[in-house]
């Protein structure tokens, strides 16, 4: 599984369920445009129908075909996104991460402030912060895309689009030009890419 880049996205149930799913879908779609093998999926252990309960979404990107397609959790994420910064205070968001990972947080705080709340910050090689909520305050709550349904609201219109742009800048796992072709709000993605604050550790 080392050849597969695992991305885990933490969010708050119901209010950010779609935004987290959008981020996973946008990143995997952008990587697909670059000829990579990808997956994007929910964590069926979590409870997305519970308001504000932490939940996870996942994406995987690989240069070669993904052999273990039916593994339903990312055990060793290389990249972690946190859509709601208060989750960091109560959850071990870096659980399973190997040495040298990247954390991207939606927050109005700087990376040094966020590091104070991470007990295992030594795992990180990089932390990045972007105020996705300020850049694009239109957070979407929509259930039409759940469980294989058609997402009538469209993909990548809210903070998920901003966070995807920030990930592209902080990690280089996808190209910005591919990403803007997958999101419903390309300007929000470009701003996430341009305005993310990155700290190397």
Percent helix, strand and coil across the chain, each rounded to 5?
30, 20, 45
Q: What's the confidence (pLDDT) of residue 152?
A: 57
For the chain, the domains span 4-200
The phi and psi torsions of 132 (rounded to 5 degrees) equal -65, -35
Does residue 1 register a pLDDT over 60? no
- Report the predicted TM-score, pTM, of the whole model to 2 decimal places: 0.91
**Cβ-Cβ contacts under 8 Å for 52 (sequence gap 6 or more):** 12, 13, 14, 15
Does residue 103 register a pLDDT over 80? yes
The CATH code of the domain at 4-200 is 3.40.920.10
Q: What is the DSSP letter of 185?
A: -
Q: Can you tell me the distance from the alpha carbon of 153 to that of 53, in angstroms, rounded to the nearest whole number?
A: 23
Does residue 199 register a pLDDT over 70? yes
Q: What's the confidence (pLDDT) of residue 77?
A: 97
pLDDT band at 78 (very low <50, low <70, confident <90, very high): very high
Average pLDDT value for the chain: 89
pLDDT in tens, 14-72: 888 889 999 999 999 999 999 999 999 988 776 656 777 889 999 999 999 998 888 88
Does residue 91 register a pLDDT over 70? yes
Average pLDDT over residues 87-114: 95
pLDDT in tens, 143-166: 555 555 555 566 878 999 999 999
Does residue 139 register a pLDDT over 80? no
Q: What's the confidence (pLDDT) of residue 155?
A: 80
Say if residues 164 and 30 touch (Cβ distance below 8 Å). yes
Q: What's the confidence (pLDDT) of residue 39?
A: 95
Q: What's the confidence (pLDDT) of residue 145?
A: 52
What percent of the chain stands above pLDDT 90?
72
Task: Return the sign of the alpha-carbon dihedral for residues 140, 76, 38, 105.
Answer: positive
């Amino acid at each position: 599984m080392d050849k597969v880049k695992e991305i885990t996205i933490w969010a708050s149930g119901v209010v950010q369920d779609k935004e987290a799913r959008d981020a996973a879908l946008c990143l995997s779609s952008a990587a697909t445009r670059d000829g990579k093998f990808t997956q994007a999926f929910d964590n069926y252990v979590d409870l997305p129908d519970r308001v504000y309960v932490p939940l996870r979404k996942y994406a995987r990107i690989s240069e070669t075909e993904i052999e273990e397609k039916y593994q339903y959790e990312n055990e060793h994420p290389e990249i972690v996104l946190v859509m709601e910064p208060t989750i960091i205070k109560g959850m071990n968001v870096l659980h399973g991460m190997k040495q040298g990972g990247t954390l991207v947080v939606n927050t109005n705080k700087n990376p040094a402030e966020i590091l104070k709340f991470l007990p295992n910050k030594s795992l990180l090689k990089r932390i990045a912060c972007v105020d996705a909520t300020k850049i694009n305050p239109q957070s979407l709550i929509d259930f039409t895309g759940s469980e294989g349904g058609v997402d009538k609201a469209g993909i990548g219109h809210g903070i998920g689009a901003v966070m995807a742009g920030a990930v592209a800048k902080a990690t280089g796992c996808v190209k910005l030009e591919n990403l803007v072709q997958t999101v419903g709000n390309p300007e929000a993605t470009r701003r996430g890419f341009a305005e993310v604050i990155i700290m190397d550790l």
